[in-house]
Chains A and B, each alone.
Chain A
Amino acid sequence: MSFGRTYPLSRRTLLRGMFQGSALAIGLPWLEGMFPAFAGTGAVRQPPLRFGTWFWGCGVTPGRWSPTVDEAGFGLQPESMPLEPIKQHLNFLTGFDAILDGRPNHVHVSGTFSLRSGVAPLKFGVIEGGTFETAIADRLGAGTRFKTLDFTATGNPADTYSYRSAQVRNTPETSARALYDRIFAAGLRKPGEGEFKPDPKTLSRISVLSAVSDQRKALEANLGAEDRRRLDQYFTSVREVEQQLELQTEEPVIPEACQLPERPGEHDANYDLANVHENHKLMAKLLALAMACDQTRNFNVVFSNSASSLHRSGEASSHHLYTHEEFTDPDVGYQIETSKFVVENMKGWAAFVQALADVPEGDGTLLDNCLVFAHSDTSWAKIHAVQGIPMMTAGRAGGRIKTGQVVTANGDPITRVGLTMQQIAGVPIERWGTRSMETDDSVSQILA
């Protein structure tokens, strides 16, 4: 088990060496080799790749969302119509199935985790293996202050689908103010006037954490295998904080596009649709700025939870309840209220993509250097179908992918998509998924 350290030489090694000798005055050689991504003294030359997920619950209505394709391109359907202003940034991935191999369809769970972990869960609530975007975060986020920044627009910190293991999830922020405070209120350093000096307190903190980590062996001695894994996870988390501190001892290298926002006010955060839209908009903007300032390169966003609890003020039913209880209207042939909620989710997605496209970066925008992967927990929520779960990408991943593609798979394993995302992000992986969902076949249609 490593500390997840990816650069060749850490300050901690140096500090520890120092402390074991006599206490020297601080004058550490801040080797550029420690932070390859920041090599060079000016702004980052090539904007880095960012990866993130965007989740919405309760899927789409069959026949009302998937784009139609003809020679001229693709046309949006009533439920995907809100995506019109951003459609040039998107790819649609349709017709991929979660293949359960006889395992139960745990409602609102099996689809998401077949897609994200490559394993259809056998037991309800037991996620077998981490989700793929954590592997990408380990790859892309090693040198930034936050390995990942996650938020949910629903106000409920339990709404997260990013799992390191069954019992370790990334806890999302639930309010714009908390997200702002975490990123911008403290710790974000813009290049100051005069000479940069590392804060001795920060240096001391690093050495204290280092000493805490040194106790690991003694603590492990009496633990069983499972508890050792839990302790390993703990120390991996300690390592992330150490890295944040280490970055604070370095002269900050803030990209030009970095602009500090105003501190947002307090807002109600719950499943009320109007609040969800508002919170999502505020937090999307903060996240975009955090990435422009290179504070993170990974994110997980939840717009609505699995089994979408979104509801409109004054109504006894939520999106989820409508999917199961609303009659299919005999005149139009679909569930009218349910369909309205799908449209609301798509409005959220469009707003998110636009927030990234609004931030200039290099010759283009932040979005150009992002790969955002959006998906839901089901296709047709009325029957909890996990065939053809709707998925999209946004952004060109720094030129690594094309956009404007509509990929129509014919019941292929949904893991093809997770495999492709990891490969685009540079995770060295050739095969992914389990049983019938094991695959080495990436979705080449979207690759540039």
Chain B
Amino acid sequence: MSVIRNSILAGVAVAAIGAGIYFIPGLLSGGNGSKVTGPPPPPQMRRMTESQYRNSVADIFSPEIKVVGRFEPDIRVDGLAAVGASEASISGSGYEQYYAMAGRIAEQVVSDENWSKFMPCDPASPAIYDAACAEQIVSEYGEKLFRREMKDTTLAEWTQISKLAMDKLGNFHEAMGLVLEGMLSSPEFLFIMDTVEQGDDGSLELTGHAKAARISYFLWNTAPDEKLLLAASAGELDTRQGLEAQVDRMLESEHVRTGMNAFFEDFLHLDAFATLEKDKLIYPAFNQRVAEDGREQVLRFLDYHLLDQDRPYTDIFTAKETFVTRPLGMIYEVPVRAVEGWEKVEFTEDDPRGGLLSHIAFSALHAHPGRSSATLRGIAVRELLLCQSVAPAPAAVNFTVVQDTSNPEFKTARARLTQHRTDDACASCHEFIDPIGLAMENFDGVGRLRYTENGAVIDVSGAFDGYEFDNVDGLEQTLAEHPATTSCVVEKMQKYATGRKPQASDIQWINRLEKKFSRSDEKIIPLLREIALSDEFFAVSVPHAPAPDVNQQEAATQTREKKS
């Protein structure tokens, strides 16, 4: 929990911070051939996120199948819900919900109107128990839902369950419905559990199906499709050629957008939109539609620049084009012709808007319900975009001077924060945070453009980490050039893909990824490809006796005092 400031000056990247490992390109792997290694991580068990659950059900069955229920809230560890998923379990009330959802899904799947759509076979009459058909259904859906081959014992067990249910219910469709319900509420569905096998040399290896699951949830954020499962069954994922063929197929698919959106939702903490609240009297332009569109807007913006236009990652800070709907038009104060749907808008070069920071997914999400917050925004840039860690505020601080917005002496946020910074206890942190946040003061608490506050012109100039800038455009230019910007997205992507904190054995891997990212002109798709084709992505080892792992304990949910 330390704030490391001085070492970042003049573009030299940072050192180890808090729980995370911060990688300096070239420093760890370069030079004297000193290598940091360690055993690969043990097999994993990741709780499915809500979007993974929804996507899996839609893809295994059909998007027509309704998923209704409350999911356990995600847990953020190391800034990512993907990492939290490897530490989360399911509470009693949570399981009650998953169980009820499973029942509702199964009921729809085996309903009379849907049976023939989903089921490979059907006995002559529902009153007849057809053992072969039951086994076929168990085998097909077991493989898809559990992401593993249904071997003899489990196949027999689940088929036996169908027989017992049949004996009680006397209806084959209902009996198979209970089997699906059971599968959907089983830990093997609700958690993505690695299945492993012994390799030729006695080491542990992921099964083809476990590899398929890793690839699929990483690239598409959903369950493996039939082609991928076939490749897994045929052992194709164990060869470089077979793996490349599948990864390239998936990267060329439209589904990769779903995967990338899931990454950026996690990366930018867009789940906070679910509880985002703005004061209706202070910000009458804000409503539920604005929140929903604001979430989608930033994803469209990222898709457009990074996938459609294939631009370097850092271009998202300097971009001038984004997308708006009519409700967003109220915030952006631009005319939107389309009554429904999205319209591209291009801001002029001298307009502060267009880049990532000008989106309400950043400016409104990191603000109070009734006003902007330079501090929250500064922290968000440091932590989310640069992977740096900011120390929490000390307990006994007098903030009174900070933000009395009615004080005639201190009309703008800058004036108030400057006053606050005369207090030594506060100064060090705020120096680290505020110059970044103050550059965004042209966006009010809901993200609307403004040039004055309480009648005074807002000064948005500043400097951080050795860069100077005049306004938010300058700040975004700085971020585009800051070495931590690219190393951060690589680090987060690696953590997102693996669903765990980096460990010693990952250091060389991450360094390699950073180099390749830089060589590929900071394009996103090549980064995904590089990760998905890495040996490290699939490496596992036997779980060793539990040793007290400091990082394991560092399960910081990092909820700082954001809510207000």
Is A155's CB under 8 angstroms from B275's CB?
yes
**Which chain A positions have C-beta within 8 A of B94?**
171, 237
Contact with B along A311-352 (1 / 0, CB 8 A): 101111110110011111000000000000000000000000
Instruction: Answer whether residue B45 sits at the interface, using C-beta atoms and an 8 A cutoff.
Output: yes
What residues of A have a CB within 8 angstroms of the CB of B557 in the complex? 125
Note all chain B residues with C-beta closer than 8 A to A203.
168
A205-B181, A313-B279, A321-B368 known; A171 and B99 CB under 8 Å?
A: no
| Partner pick for B546 among A26, A108, A224, CB 8 A cutoff | A224
A141 → chain B closest CB, angstroms:
9
CB of A431 within 8 Å of the partner chain: no
User: Contact at A211–B90, with CB atoms within 8 Å?
Assistant: no
Distance in angstroms between the alpha carbons of A320 and B545 in the assembled complex: 45
- Is A368 close to B, CB under 8 A? no
Chain B residues within an 8 Å CB radius of A106: 392
Using CB atoms, name the residue of chain B closest to A237: B95
Please name all residues of chain B whose beta carbon is closer than 8 Å to the beta carbon of A108 when the two chains form the complex.
561
Q: Which B residues, 51 to 108, have Cβ-Cβ distances below 8 Å to chain A? A: 70, 72-73, 75, 84, 87-97, 99
B403 an interface residue at 8 Å Cβ cutoff? yes
- Tell me if B452 is interfacial: C-beta within 8 Å of chain A: no
Tell me which residues across on chain B come within 8 A of A226, comparing CB atoms. 87, 546, 552
Q: Closest A-chain residue to B545, C-beta based? A: A225
Residue from A124, A201, A215, A234 within 8 A of B174 (CB atoms): A201
Residues of chain A with a CB closer than 8 A to B400's CB: 324-328
Q: Give the residues in chain A near B343, CB-CB below 8 Å.
A: none
B residues 136-177 in Cβ contact with A at 8 Å: 154, 157-158, 161, 164-165, 167-169, 174-175
Interface-lining segment among B188-196, B216-224, B465-473, B510-518: B188-196
State which of B70, B392, B545, B552 has its C-beta within 8 Å of the C-beta of A124. B392
With both beta carbons as reference points, the residue of chain A lying nearest to B402 in the complex is identified as A325
Whether the Cβ atoms of B559 and A125 lie closer than 8 Å is yes
Q: Give chain A nearest CB distance to B291 CB in angstroms.
A: 11
> How far, in whole Å, are A90 and B350 apart by their CA atoms in the complex?
63
A440 CA to B75 CA, complexed, in Å = 35
Contact assessment for A318 and B402 in the assembled complex, using a CB-CB cutoff below 8 Å:
no
| B546 and A225 contacting across the interface, CB-CB below 8 Å | yes
Contacting A240 at CB < 8 Å: which of B70, B84, B92, B277?
A: B92
Q: What sequence of 0s and 1s flags, for each residue 214-244 of chain A, a beta carbon within 8 Å of any chain B beta carbon?
A: 0100010011111101110111111011001
- Residues of B within 8 Å of A157, CB to CB, are 70, 73
Question: Known interface pairs A126-B553, A208-B178. Does A222 touch B402 (Cβ–Cβ under 8 Å)?
Answer: no
Interchain nearest-CB distance for A158 vs B (Å): 5
> A156 to B164, alpha carbons, bound, how many Å?
42
A200 lies within 8 A of chain B by Cβ? yes
Cβ 8 A contact of A107, one of B196, B279, B281, B392? B392
Q: Is A209 among interface residues, defined by CB-CB distance under 8 A?
A: yes
B115 at the interface (CB under 8 A from A): no
Binary contact track B23-46/A, C-beta < 8 Å → 1, others 0: 000000000000000000011110
Given that A23-B164, A383-B395 are known contacts, is A211 also in contact with B169, CB under 8 Å in the complex? Answer: no
CB distance from A389 to the nearest CB of B (A): 14
- The answer to whether A124 touches B558 (Cβ under 8 A) is yes
- Is there an interface contact between A316 and B370, defined as CB atoms closer than 8 Å? yes
| A9 interfacial by beta-carbon distance below 8 Å | no
Task: Decide yes or no whether A166 CB sits under 8 A from chain B.
Answer: yes
Chain A residues, CB < 8 A from B99 = 241
Interface residue ranges of A14-34 to B (CB < 8 Å): 19, 23, 26
When A123-B556, A124-B556, A125-B557 are in contact, do A167 and B370 touch as well, CB less than 8 Å?
A: no
Q: Which residues of B have CB within 8 Å of A224?
A: 42, 543-544, 546
User: How many chain A residues touch the partner (CB < 8 A)?
Assistant: 83
Given A316-B371, A317-B370, A320-B563: A212 and B186 interface contact (C-beta under 8 Å): yes
The reply on B369 being an interface residue by CB < 8 A is: yes
Q: How far is the CB of B263 from chain A (nearest CB, A)?
A: 22
Output the nearest chain B residue to A233 by Cβ-Cβ distance: B89
Q: What are the residues of chain A within 8 A of B403 when measuring CB–CB?
A: 321, 325
Q: How many A-B residue pairs have CB under 8 A?
A: 241
Q: Identify the closest chain A residue to B373 (Cβ).
A: A321
Cβ-neighbour of B563 out of A107, A124, A164, A307 (below 8 A): A307
> Does residue A169 face the partner (Cβ distance < 8 Å to B)?
yes
State how many angstroms separate the Cβ of B77 from the closest Cβ of chain A.
8
Determine if B1 is an interface residue (Cβ-Cβ < 8 Å): yes
Residue of A nearest to B369 (CB): A311
Asked whether any CB of chain A lies closer than 8 Å to the CB of B555, the reply is yes
Given contacts A318-B369, A384-B396, contact A166 B555 (CB under 8 A): yes
In the bound complex, residues from chain B placing their C-beta under 8 Å from that of A383 are 395-396
Grouping DSSP codes into helix (H, G, I), strand (E, B) and loop, the B interface class, with mixed when no group exceeds half, is loop
**Could you tell me which residues of chain B, from 384 to 428, have a CB within 8 Å of some CB in chain A?**
392-393, 395-400, 402-405
A residues near B90, Cβ cutoff 8 Å: 168, 233-234, 237
* Contact status A26-B196, CB under 8 Å: no
Q: Contact check, A23 vs B275: say whether CB atoms are below 8 A apart.
A: no
A167 lies within 8 A of B89 (CB)? yes
Q: A219-B187, A321-B368 are in contact. Are A271 and B277 (CB under 8 A)?
A: yes
**Smallest CB–CB gap between A153 and chain B, Å?**
13
Which residue, B404, B445, B561, has most C-beta atoms of chain A within 10 A? B561
**Chain B: minimal CB distance from A237 (Å):** 4
A313, B281: Cβ atoms closer than 8 Å: yes
Tell me whether B92 and A270 are in contact (CB under 8 A): no
| C-alpha gap A106/B174 in the complex (Å) | 53
- The distance from the CB of B280 to the nearest CB of chain A, in whole angstroms, is 6
A105 within 8 A of B: yes
- For the complex, is B462 an interface residue (Cβ under 8 Å from A)? no
A97 close to B (CB within 8 Å): no
Q: Pick the most buried of B90, B97, B556, B563: most chain A CB atoms within 10 A of its CB.
A: B563
- Identify A105's interface contact among B164, B194, B395, B402, CB under 8 A: B395
Give the residues in chain B near A215, CB-CB below 8 Å: 154, 157, 186-188
- A123–B554 CB distance below 8 A: yes
- B182 in contact with A208 (CB, 8 Å): yes
Give the complex CA separation of A89 and B37 in angstroms: 63
Q: What residues of chain A lie closer than 8 Å to B195, measured between beta carbons?
A: 222
B168 touching A320 by the CB < 8 A rule? no
Residues of A within 8 A of B87 (CB): 166-167, 226, 230
CB proximity of A338 to chain B, nearest CB, Å: 11
* A403 in the interface (beta carbon within 8 A): no
| A313, B280: Cβ atoms closer than 8 Å | yes
| Residues of the A chain whose Cβ atoms lie less than 8 Å from the Cβ of B89 | 165, 167-168, 229-231, 233-234, 237
Determine whether B48 belongs to the interface, using a CB cutoff of 8 Å to chain A.
no
Q: For A241, what are the chain B residues with a Cβ–Cβ distance below 8 Å? A: 92, 95-96, 99
Checking B188, B275, B370 against A315 with a beta-carbon cut-off of 8 angstroms, the contacting residue is B370
- With contacts A107-B561, A148-B93, A320-B561 known, is A211 near B182, CB below 8 A? yes
- The yes or no answer to A204 lying at the interface (CB within 8 A) is yes
A285 within 8 A of B: no
Q: Is B363 an interface residue (CB 8 A)?
A: no
Q: Pick from A211, A229, A314: contact of B157, CB below 8 A.
A: A211
Q: Is the CB of B188 within 8 A of A219?
A: yes
CB distance from B450 to the nearest CB of A (A): 14
Q: Could you say which residues of chain B place their CB within 8 Å of the CB of A320?
A: 561, 563-564
- State A207–B392 Cα separation when bound (angstroms): 50
A325–B399 CB distance below 8 A: yes
Contact in complex: B281, A270 (CB < 8 Å): no
Which 6 interchain pairs have the tightest Cβ spacing? A316-B370, A224-B543, A314-B281, A225-B546, A237-B95, A324-B399
13 contacts between A and B (CB under 8 A): A166-B555, A168-B91, A207-B165, A208-B178, A223-B42, A229-B89, A240-B96, A241-B92, A311-B279, A316-B370, A317-B370, A318-B368, A318-B370
| A-B contacts besides A215-B188, A225-B545, 6 pairs, CB < 8 Å | A156-B275, A167-B555, A208-B182, A227-B45, A231-B187, A316-B371
**Chain A positions near chain B (C-beta within 8 angstroms):** 19, 23, 26, 104-108, 123-126, 146-148, 150, 155-158, 164-171, 178, 182, 200-201, 203-205, 207-209, 211-212, 215, 219, 222-227, 229-231, 233-238, 240-241, 244, 270-272, 305, 307, 309, 311, 313-318, 320-321, 324-328, 382-384
